[in-house]
Structure 1
Amino acid sequence: DYIETGSLISIKKNVKNILIPSEERKIEMFPMDFEEFLWATGDNTTNALLRKIYNEKISLGQRQNRDLMRKFRLYMLVGGMPQAVNAYLETNNFKYVDEVKRDIISLYEEDFYKIDPSGKISMLFAAIPSELSRNSSRYQVSSVLKNHRASAISNEIAELVSSKTVLISYHVNDPAIGMTTSLNTEQFRLFMADTGLMVTLMFKDKEFTDNIIYEKLLSDKLSKNLGLFYENTVAQTLTFNGIKLYYNTYYDETQKRIFEVDFLLADGHKVSPIEVRSSKYRVHRSIDEFSKKYSDRINSKYVVHTKDLYKKGDLLYLPFYLVQFIR
């Protein structure tokens, strides 16, 4: 047996038009998930407890939830790239971890220029944090590449997604008739495949000594507009579970406002909406209105938040560290 490693973009370019032998099997791999991160830090027991909590829908209490959320925020900061995790284990110093992640991002950018010397792919990648922070219903291609629409750069988007450095979530126009049937390939949102890298990418223009995001995120003192890190980690975790990413926005004529459901899970003929709340978790009008509109299609409903697990009616409130068990 043998294993090939290297840049996925470079490998694809070098083996283009080469017939792959039937003995070779491709395995899709991702950055380390939360369970693997815990293993790396020497914690081999917590995740078994978390599985039991999820299966039995047990509330842990505020103190234990705070401790677990701190571990999860540490995972969000460091990320799941093995080099970054190793740097943290060896130094316990976020400055060195950030340097490793900057090196990884630089390698990504070099690869993007190999397949697209015009720099469009690199610009689309670099703008992911700012686009998510806008709370827009879609990735605004025209705000990143002037005079370009999503339909005109479908090849660049495809290359970016196939590089496995980003995740794409498609807008579903009508969840009542199925996800793939009504998805809009020109309306989408882009996430980073690793939240730790996104933390670094968002503040890449600053020196680490000027960057207080690590301290703020670890101590749960993020400003509201930085809740995108939480949303990204949900997208990342769902993808690890083999779940394709979809979302939905719709305009309510009566209330004269737009509602958005962050993620939709296809479950046979049913759909399970997920709303991500980094603050004010008891207010979730989007999922409430969505559930009224598609009441005959709803399977499960989730609000993902920073607090303890609890159930209210048919709505399950999950802390971020339990999203890994959604299937």
Structure 2
Amino acid sequence: MKRFILNDLIKWKNSKYRKPLILKGVRQVGKTWILKEFGRLYYENVAYFNFDENIEYREFFEKTKDVNRILQNLMFISGEKIEPEKTLIIFDEIQDCPNVINSLKYFYENSPEYHIACAGSLLGIALAKPSSFPVGKVDFLNIYPMTFSEFLLANGDENLKLYLDSIDEIEKIPSAFYNPLYEKLKMYYVTGGMPEVVYLWTQERDIELMKKTSNNIIEAYERDFAKHPNIREFPKISMIWKSIPSQLSKENKKFIYKIVKEGARAREYEDALQWLVDANLVYKIYRSSAPRIPLSSYDDLQAFKIYLVDVGLLGRLSMLSPSAFGDGNRLFTEFKGALTENYILQSLAPQFEVLPRYWTDNNYEVDFIIQNENDIFPVEVKAEKNTKSKSLFKFKEKYSDEIKLRVRFSFENLTLDDDLLNIPLFMADYSKKIIDIALKKDKYFCF
């Protein structure tokens, strides 16, 4: 299956400023696979070292900081051939190996000719710990669940993906493309973007097998909760995790601790919630008090929403039957549009450098606020036929001098009406491109 992150890995390989790479992402998102595939395609050979399967490898990093000696020992013990520039060295499962992480500094400073890429389960947890870390000596890349565009390719719908790639004007999409794209999006809501689930669906078309695989992934995540260094946090993490469908099924999706447990207080559960964030299992989206640059400066730290890393896992965690994808538009509106909001956030997060926020004013709420370079755009998600955007209108009324464009995702076709850009839900992966096209129109050229 094609993963677009391969392009970023190629750029990393060819950069004259290349540093050892740390690939971050949620467990089972395909980190190890993509690194091995990258090595197979673009290097003469791959030297793969797993520090969970082969705990003895860790000793080589405890006794010396000499890069050549470390590599010599690894070659002797594994029989792997390692050559500068020609071999991709993969250090996997490094989350419990601080000496391995620290050694990246010496690879960068003393032996930059070696190409090293690292991955690990719950690596975000390890990197969040206050320990010796080679600051400024490593590169980072994030790998996300498969996008809807990647799903189309895996599903054999390259023609639909190529059509979406070709769009360079704001004009209505013909029904011949529009209708099948919505049907494929329903399928994506059910499979989500976890590679194993997508692969099994595209190969077997077996709903029960797909359900079982998704359930296995969720169970693996839940077993990981016990890996919190403070075992007393385990039940709190589990309760927050299981409360997410209930949190998102509310009209007001602001995270409420008492939904986790009656009488629960923030100070008792904030560490458990942060564990889920650091593990890349959830997104924590803060309320923005004002749509200004930089967005992070206007975060209301007491008000936030929680979304899952993957829409398919949200459907499984909610025990939504996959048969729903054949039931009209039910999937899009289920849980008060929670699946659709989760899908939109999942699509927006990889495209913009700053994680989206949301905005409220009394009874008005804009689902997301995105920062595109030095511009701020309000985003509303409409999963129902009624696309009237009272909150977007209120937002424009209040910040008319600061906002160039308002964005709405809905069932409507691709249109630009004055300053309101409507993007069909199935084009969420192209949001940045479509916004840029809209801004280049003559009516938005002079601001």
Structure 1 residue 268: Cα displacement: 5.2
Q: 1:261 to 1:151 in 2, by over 3 A?
A: farther
Residue 255 of structure 1: aligned partner: none
Structure 1 residues not aligned, in runs of 5+:
204-210, 252-257
C-alpha distance in structure 1 between counterparts of 2:128 and 2:377, whole Å = 41
Structure 2 residues not aligned, in runs of 5+:
1-88, 93-118, 433-447
Q: Does 1:310 align with 2:409?
A: no
Taking structure 2 as the reference length, the TM-score comes to 0.64
| 2:360 counterpart letter in structure 1 | T
C-alpha distance in structure 2 between counterparts of 1:270 and 1:17, whole Å = 36
Q: Does 1:36 align with 2:150?
A: yes
C-alpha distance in structure 2 between counterparts of 1:292 and 1:52, whole Å = 35
C-alpha distance in structure 2 between counterparts of 1:11 and 1:267, whole Å = 28
C-alpha distance in structure 2 between counterparts of 1:72 and 1:249, whole Å = 29
Q: 1:225 to 1:88 in 2, by over 3 A?
A: closer
C-alpha distance in structure 1 between counterparts of 2:136 and 2:144, whole Å = 23
C-alpha distance in structure 1 between counterparts of 2:376 and 2:138, whole Å = 36
Q: Does 1:120 align with 2:236?
A: yes
Residue 179 of structure 1: aligned partner: 295
Q: Does 1:99 align with 2:204?
A: no
Give 3-state SS (helix, strand or coil) of 1:60's partner.
coil
Counterpart pick for 1:239 among 331, 335, 349: 349
- Partners of 2:356 and 2:371 within 8 A in 1: no
C-alpha distance in structure 1 between counterparts of 2:220 and 2:265, whole Å = 27
| 1:230 counterpart letter in structure 2 | T
C-alpha distance in structure 2 between counterparts of 1:288 and 1:11, whole Å = 41
C-alpha distance in structure 2 between counterparts of 1:276 and 1:169, whole Å = 15
| 1:12 counterpart letter in structure 2 | A
Aligned residues: 312
C-alpha distance in structure 2 between counterparts of 1:126 and 1:165, whole Å = 12
C-alpha distance in structure 1 between counterparts of 2:405 and 2:389, whole Å = 15
C-alpha distance in structure 2 between counterparts of 1:218 and 1:168, whole Å = 31
| 1:324 counterpart letter in structure 2 | D
C-alpha distance in structure 2 between counterparts of 1:219 and 1:185, whole Å = 39
Q: Does 1:74 align with 2:187?
A: yes
Q: 1:96 to 1:298 in 2, by over 3 A?
A: same
- Partners of 1:165 and 1:193 within 8 A in 2: yes
Give 3-state SS (helix, strand or coil) of 2:359's partner.
strand
Question: Higher RCO, 1 or 2 (CA under 8 Å, sep at least 6)?
Answer: 1
Residue 141 of structure 1: aligned partner: 257
Q: Does 1:2 align with 2:90?
A: yes
| 2:247 counterpart letter in structure 1 | E
Structure 1 residue 219: Cα displacement: 4.0
Q: 1:194 to 1:320 in 2, by over 3 A?
A: same
Residue 89 of structure 1: aligned partner: 202
C-alpha distance in structure 2 between counterparts of 1:63 and 1:14, whole Å = 48
Give 1:1-327 correspondences, 5 Å limit.
1-4=89-92, 5-8=119-122, 12=126, 17=131, 19=133, 25-53=139-167, 55-115=168-228, 117-118=231-232, 119-176=235-292, 178-203=294-319, 213-222=321-330, 224-226=333-335, 227-242=337-352, 243-251=354-362, 258-267=363-372, 270-327=375-432
C-alpha distance in structure 2 between counterparts of 1:63 and 1:30, whole Å = 30
Taking structure 1 as the reference length, the TM-score comes to 0.86
After superposition, give the CA deviation of every residue in 1:243-279 in whole Å (9 maximum; x if it has no partner). Answer: 412001111xxxxxx0000000124554211110011
C-alpha distance in structure 1 between counterparts of 2:378 and 2:129, whole Å = 40
Q: Which moved more, 1:175-184 or 1:279-288?
A: 175-184
Structure 1 residue 17: Cα displacement: 3.5
Q: 1:113 to 1:151 in 2, by over 3 A?
A: same
C-alpha distance in structure 2 between counterparts of 1:83 and 1:15, whole Å = 30
Q: 1:272 to 1:16 in 2, by over 3 A?
A: closer
RMSD after superposition: 2.5
Identity of aligned residues (%): 26
| 2:161 counterpart letter in structure 1 | N
Structure 1 residue 127: Cα displacement: 1.2
Q: 1:23 to 1:175 in 2, by over 3 A?
A: closer
